[in-house]
């Protein structure tokens, strides 16, 4: 519990706490437009419909409903239900994993800029955390040589988020294989945060899951992003390292103990209907990214745009001299009720901002942004 006392604020979550429900349009959300409950229930098969209708609201199995774990395992090539541990969102999985794996004297390497808890919880355990910086001038690609140089004999965990928040970067297969090989040689575990997996714009670009790629690989998944069900708060860790999962399960006894019973059944329905659910998500992001491409084409002299290869977020940069993105984003809220997420919320300078394109109001939000840009950036 020391970790809880020393942990720094989660800047992005504090920012969202201030603005998410105070603006009209979130043009920086990373989740997909929430799936309508009635439509989800209509996708239930007879077994899951009976589970829903007959549900009683007691505690659930702390590792996750066995039928749900079996369905999650089927997302991977060689895993079974006992290789999966269910959590209240990906966030709880990150918290438990870092706390059981890391402590003073341990070393971890984490891709950055990125989702703060991936490195902040690790730091709060007392571990030495090194940030593996991605750079716009390299199209945000992971620098394999840098990763190799950052390794120390104490490196216990390498954390890679791909598809990546906030850049939309997806490593090519050679880079992915190199990361796996480095992890294997070093003896470190490899946490692959794959919460945006299945949102590759070209399905041929989909990478193997971390849990399938190597024995010490750990896949982090969640219903929030590709599956458009953030409100369920259902996520999971999947790995063939059962001893590690058992230790995480022990830690979870001090966080949530077990998952929400209704959410488990709804997640199961969503995963069984994943072809339908994912097709909807891909339709949303594909339509939106085309609009963003057109916008950034027109505004190429004011913004950079490294086109994401997957996921629901990207990380462009405002290049107008003398205008900071923090000020411009504040003006955009005021004038147009549209929320951007300045790079400063990731501790990352350089006038970048996160755009989210998983929401169906993107066309309206982008029109408003463009109107504001016409008034302020010409």
Ligand X SMILES: Cc1ncc(COP(=O)(O)O)c(C=O)c1O
Interaction site with ligand X (CB under 6 A): 30, 89-91, 115, 161, 165, 193, 195, 222, 224, 230, 235
Residues near 141 by beta carbon (within 8 Å), at least 6 away in sequence: 134, 169, 171, 175
Q: How far is the CB of 228 from ligand X (least distance, A)?
A: 11
CB atoms within 10 A of CB 38: 7
Q: Which two tokens stand for residue 201?
A: 């714009």
- Beta partners for residue 354, in sequence order: 341
In terms of CB distance, is 30 or 281 closer to ligand X?
30
Q: How far is the CB of 232 from ligand X (least distance, A)?
A: 9
In terms of CB distance, is 95 or 299 closer to ligand X?
95
The DSSP annotation for 142-196 comes to --HHHHHHH--TTEEEEEEESSPTTT-----HHHHHHHHHHHHHHT-EEEEE-TT
CB atoms within 10 A of CB 198: 21
Q: How far is the CB of 322 from ligand X (least distance, A)?
A: 32
| Cβ 160 vs Cβ 192: under 8 Å | yes
Q: How far is the CB of 220 from ligand X (least distance, A)?
A: 7
Which residue's Cβ lies closest to ligand X? 89
3-state secondary structure of 110: strand
- What is the arrangement of strands in the sheet containing 341-342, beginning at the earlier edge strand? 313-314, 353-356, 341-342
Q: How far is the CB of 347 from ligand X (least distance, A)?
A: 15
In terms of CB distance, is 115 or 315 closer to ligand X?
115
Between CA 104 and CA 83 the distance in angstroms is: 28
The DSSP annotation for 315-360 comes to --EE--TT--HHHHHHHHHHHH-EE-EEGGGGT--SSBEEEE--ST
Between CA 32 and CA 359 the distance in angstroms is: 6
In terms of CB distance, is 76 or 115 closer to ligand X?
115
What are residue 70's phi and psi, to 5 degrees?
Answer: -65, -40
- Beta partners for residue 86, in sequence order: 236
Q: How far is the CB of 49 from ligand X (least distance, A)?
A: 26
Query: What is the separation, in whole angstroms, between the first and last Cα of the chain?
Result: 52
Q: How far is the CB of 378 from ligand X (least distance, A)?
A: 34
Q: What is the CA radius of gyration of the chain?
A: 20
Residues near 361 by beta carbon (within 8 Å), at least 6 away in sequence: 25
Q: How far is the CB of 225 from ligand X (least distance, A)?
A: 7
Q: How far is the CB of 230 from ligand X (least distance, A)?
A: 6
In terms of CB distance, is 147 or 222 closer to ligand X?
222
Q: How far is the CB of 192 from ligand X (least distance, A)?
A: 11
In terms of CB distance, is 93 or 316 closer to ligand X?
93
Place of tokens 């216990």: 156
In terms of CB distance, is 310 or 373 closer to ligand X?
310
């Amino acid at each position: 519990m020391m970790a809880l006392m020393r942990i720094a604020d989660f800047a992005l979550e504090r920012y969202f706490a201030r603005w998410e429900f105070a603006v009209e349009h979130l043009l920086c959300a990373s989740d997909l437009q929430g799936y309508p409950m009635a439509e989800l229930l209509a996708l239930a098969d007879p077994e899951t419909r009976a589970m829903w209708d007959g549900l009683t609201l007691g505690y659930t199995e702390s590792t996750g409903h066995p039928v749900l774990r079996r369905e999650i395992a089927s997302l991977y090539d060689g895993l079974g239900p006992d290789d999966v541990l269910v959590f209240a969102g990906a966030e709880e999985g990150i918290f438990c994993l870092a706390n059981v794996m890391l402590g003073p004297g341990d070393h971890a390497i984490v891709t950055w800029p990125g989702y703060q808890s991936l490195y902040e919880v690790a730091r709060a355990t007392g571990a030495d955390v090194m940030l593996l910086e991605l750079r716009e001038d390299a199209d945000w690609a992971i620098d394999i040589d840098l990763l190799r140089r950052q390794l120390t004999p104490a490196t216990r965990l390498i954390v890679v988020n791909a598809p990546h928040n906030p850049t939309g970067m997806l490593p090519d297969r050679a880079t992915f294989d190199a990361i796996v090989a480095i992890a294997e040689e070093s003896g470190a575990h490899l946490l692959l945060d794959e919460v945006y997996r299945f949102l590759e714009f070209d399905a041929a670009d989909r990478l193997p899951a971390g849990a399938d790629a190597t024995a010490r690989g750990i896949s982090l998944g969640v219903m929030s992003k590709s599956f458009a069900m953030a409100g369920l708060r259902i996520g999971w860790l999947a790995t063939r390292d059962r001893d590690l999962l058992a230790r995480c399960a022990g830690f979870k006894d001090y966080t949530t103990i077990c998952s929400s019973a209704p959410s488990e059944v709804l997640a199961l329905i969503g995963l069984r209907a994943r072809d339908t659910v994912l097709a909807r998500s891909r339709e949303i992001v594909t339509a939106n990214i085309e609009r963003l491409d057109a916008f950034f084409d027109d505004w190429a002299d004011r913004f950079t745009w490294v086109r994401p290869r997957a996921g629901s977020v990207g990380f462009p940069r405002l290049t107008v001299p003398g205008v900071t993105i923090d000020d411009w984003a504040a003006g955009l809220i005021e004038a147009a009720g549209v929320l951007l997420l300045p790079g400063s919320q990731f501790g990352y300078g350089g006038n970048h901002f996160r755009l989210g394109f998983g929401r169906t109001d993107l066309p309206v939000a982008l029109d408003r942004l463009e109107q504001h840009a016409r008034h302020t950036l010409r």
